[in-house]
Amino acid sequence: MNGHRGKLMTAQEAIAVLLHDGDCLALGGFVTNRRAYGLVREIIRQAKRDLYIEGGGSGGDIDMLIGAGCVRALQVSYIANSGFTPVCRRFRAAVEKGTLLCEDFSLDVHTIAYHGAALGLPYVPVKNMLGSDLVRQWGISREERARHPKLPAEKFVIQDDPFRPGSPLCCVPSPQIDVACIHVQMASPDGTCRIMGAPFQDIDIAVAAKRTIVSCETLVSDEAIRQHPEQNSLTGLCVDAVVHMPYGAHPSQCFAHYDYDPAMLREYDQASRTDGGFMSFLDAYVNRCPTHEAYLDYVGGARLAALRVRPDFGYVPGLKRN
């Protein structure tokens, strides 16, 4: 890298400098795919509070933030560790106790809204939710929304299509994202990123956010990543910090690198059933591991190596998945 630091930071630096209490935070990946777990663990270590989370198709990383007391409100379409936890348990407990504000959208509408945010649109007109309980039922009332400037005043507004009078549209506000955290397979110090496999909503939230933090499996020079620009996914113009973080998506999977960790996902499913179990899990994997490197040491090199995918398959054959 010839000593060129560019936008390189440690996870501790990036979270401390770029993420503030009360921010609207969007997280990349999908359910158990390429979630930014390493950055999430650092958010928990730094005890960030009152975050407004844009969830989309969410996983256990957001569930951990909820259980750790970091989250004030969540806009979500799905939150689970598929195959292990059908509905994340700290999320469910917080909703049932009334300690978490939560709004529900369909996954397709959430995805369209992220794209609208990336385009700088104030809202997106859709038909997808019309006629469903997603329109009839609001998780967060107008009165509650008025107390939270980070939340739009309305969940949506229904109005006629201006080009087809009598045809209703559901106008959904585009998220106003302060910080996006995504994990990618490759990045360079100037912030150029390469995502292998499905990009999910990552590009849209990175473009839409005021500040974007990227963790990466492989760090290469600016010159090297420019050798194949057609393979790159995100310009450094959209990125504020790059954190070199091998296994930064663990225990979720990272395409072309490693499979998800079924043993840890099963462990979390059991631990997150109770307040005490969750706190013990958090103590072991977050509080006693002050850095990502300490976390990897605690998990163990042999366990991580066993998750490396077979290149010709793209996954680990014979991995016990349930």
pLDDT digits (tens, 9 = 90+) for 2-30: 456 899 999 999 999 999 999 999 999 99
- In a domain, residue 89? The reply is yes
Per-residue pLDDT of the chain (322 residues; tens, 9 = 90+): 445 689 999 999 999 999 999 999 999 999 999 999 999 999 999 999 999 999 889 999 999 999 999 999 999 999 999 999 999 999 999 999 999 999 999 999 999 999 999 999 999 999 989 999 999 999 999 999 999 999 999 999 999 999 999 999 999 999 999 999 999 999 999 999 999 999 999 999 999 999 999 999 999 999 999 999 999 999 999 999 999 999 999 999 999 999 999 999 999 999 999 999 999 999 999 999 999 999 999 999 999 999 999 999 999 999 988 7
CATH number at residue 7: 3.40.1080.10
Contact call for residues 72 and 54 (beta carbons, < 8 A): no
**Domain span holding position 13:** 1-123+176-322
Exposed/middle/buried for 83, CB within 10 Å: 0-12, 13-18, 19+? middle
Please indicate, yes or no, if residue 115 is contained in any of the structural domains: yes
Answer whether residue 193 is part of any domain: yes
Residue 281 belongs to a domain: yes
**Is 161 part of a structural domain of the chain?**
no
Any domain includes 62: yes
Which residue do the tokens 């256990």 mark?
A: 60
Cα 80 to Cα 77: distance, rounded to the nearest angstrom = 10
Asked if the structure places residue 192 within a domain, the reply is: yes
Mean pLDDT score of the chain? 96
Count of the separate structural domains present in the chain: 1
What are the tens digits of pLDDT across the range 76-100? 999 999 999 999 999 999 999 999 9
Name beta bridge partners: 219.
187
152: in domain: no
Please give the structure tokens belonging to residue 229. Answer: 């620009």
Rounded to two decimals, what is the model's pTM?
0.96
